[in-house]
Chain A
Amino acid sequence: MTAVVAVADVLAVLLLAAGCFFVVAGTLGLLRFADLPTRLHGVAKADNLGLGFITAGLVVHALAHGGGIAGGGGGAGGIVAKLVLVWLFALLGTAANSHLLAAPARPEPGAEEKPEREPGPGPGPETTPEPEAPATREAP
């Protein structure tokens, strides 16, 4: 029994680490990409994948421990259901958000900042490939 829990713990930590990696990648994409569509692309894909991995890690943890750090098994069903629900909501929301945000915009009334003014001293192409990897792996 303890061996199973230990294996589950290792698996959960691995999944959480993968989740962290993808969330960090998404955040880097948000910070470093050159314009709005590419940023959206990084955020929508990498970040949701990250949330999915973190959710999966917590699901494994809940199945092994039953909710808490120290608790025994049992009572994990509700936790798993809600974690999955969080992820599904995030997927739904991101799909709609990305579409709405990426739709060609009329010039905003009185945008006080010019959209042409791009931040980021570094050139785009060097940073582009990194969050590209999660993006391509996301589609199963």
Chain B
Amino acid sequence: MSPASVLDVVLAAAVLAVALVAVLLPSRRGAVSAFLVLGVVLAVLWARLDAPDIALAEAALGSGVAGALLMDTLTADPARPGRRAGRTAVVVGLLAGAVALAALTVVVRAVPDEPSLLPAAVAEEIHGAGADHAVTAVLLNFRSLDTLLEAAVLVFAAAGAGALVRTPVRAPDPVPAPVTALARVLLPALVLLGTWLLLAGTSRPGGAFQAGAMFAGALVVAFVAGARFAASQGTAARAWTVAGVLAFVALAAGTAMLGQGWLVLDPRWAGAAVLTVETVLAVSIGVGLAQVFVANSEARRVPS
């Protein structure tokens, strides 16, 4: 492993500094803002770590969708001033943190320095996996059960957030003219960008998750600009939210009935199957994340 370069050291210091600021600031607004900065810095770190997929996802989800969600919280009524942690709790917490850090360092140092065997195994199997890009092949073929369950978690989150809404959708706030104008440009641009990421995902970094985040961004923009379809929490939105899981389960059932076993794809049609599931999954992730946002946003308007 090469010695750390100046850029790496500065980057590591930056990540640690931003993380510390994000957790140490006493005000909610400061913490959230610093966390958004952390998203940007992390995207750069992932880029340095040879993980462009993750950099894309971090830019889209970490500082995009999650940022919008967190920032939107700040427009709600402020929290009642809570008690601060007592001195004993702080001391115990810091001690526990020090012990945990020491233990973690020991554990991580014990990890062997040799590269794992997985990249070679993936490279061996990737022909006929349905995607030339290794990460996409892992996500939608080799470890597709993980992705299925991840889609299920998203359904759970969207349903949970939706269940917390107490008021029906009211008339939206007046929309400033620049927002409408911006939405007209941004909405098609985001959808186009998402589609590009989706299609690019089979051969290069990109894929369903990043595309889904783009679609979610597009829906959020439409929602903020007052579009009726984006504010809907009706049957269609719910159907799209669960569509990702359903597509996966249907694929699993299909392969099981064809006698190959659950989610074992035949190389002859793996490409088509992967792209189909990815497309449904991307729209599903987009609608699901947008549903989470809309639910949060409606909760904001609970009359007091």
Contact = CB atoms under 8 A, between A and B. Distances in A.
Interface of A: 89, 92, 96, 99-100, 103, 108-110, 112-113
A34 B77 CA distance: 28
A112 B75 contact: no
B182 A96 contact: yes
B77 A109 contact: yes
Contact of B29 (A92, A99, A113): A113
Given A100-B176, A100-B179, A113-B29, A92 B185 contact: yes
B189 interface: yes
A112 B29 contact: yes
Interface residues on B, range: 10 to 19
A110 B78 contact: yes
Contacts of A89: 189
Interface of chain A, main secondary structure: loop
Nearest to A110: B78
B303 interface: no
Given A89-B189, A92-B185, A109 B178 contact: no
Contacts of A96: 178-179, 181-182
B182 A110 contact: no
Nearest to A98: B178
26 contacts: A89-B189, A92-B182, A92-B185, A92-B186, A96-B178, A96-B179, A96-B181, A96-B182, A99-B178, A100-B176, A100-B178, A100-B179, A103-B176, A108-B75, A109-B75, A109-B76, A109-B77, A109-B78, A110-B77, A110-B78, A112-B27, A112-B28, A112-B29, A112-B78, A113-B27, A113-B29
Nearest to A97: B182
Contacts of B181: 96
Given A99-B178, A100-B176, A100-B178, 4 more contacts: A96-B179, A109-B76, A110-B78, A113-B29
B201 to A, nearest CB: 17
A113 B25 CA distance: 13
Nearest to A108: B75
Nearest to B74: A108
Contacts of A109: 75-78
A16 B29 CA distance: 34
Contacts of A100: 176, 178-179
Nearest to A96: B182
B155 to A, nearest CB: 32
A134 to B, nearest CB: 22
A101 B185 CA distance: 19
A6 B24 CA distance: 49
Interface in B143-191: 176, 178-179, 181-182, 185-186, 189
Nearest to B30: A113
Contacts of B27: 112-113
Contacts of A113: 27, 29
Most chain A Cβ neighbours within 10 Å, of B28, B182, B186:
B182
Nearest to A99: B178
Nearest to B178: A99
Interface in B191-239: none
A96 B183 CA distance: 10
Nearest to B26: A112
A108 B182 CA distance: 23
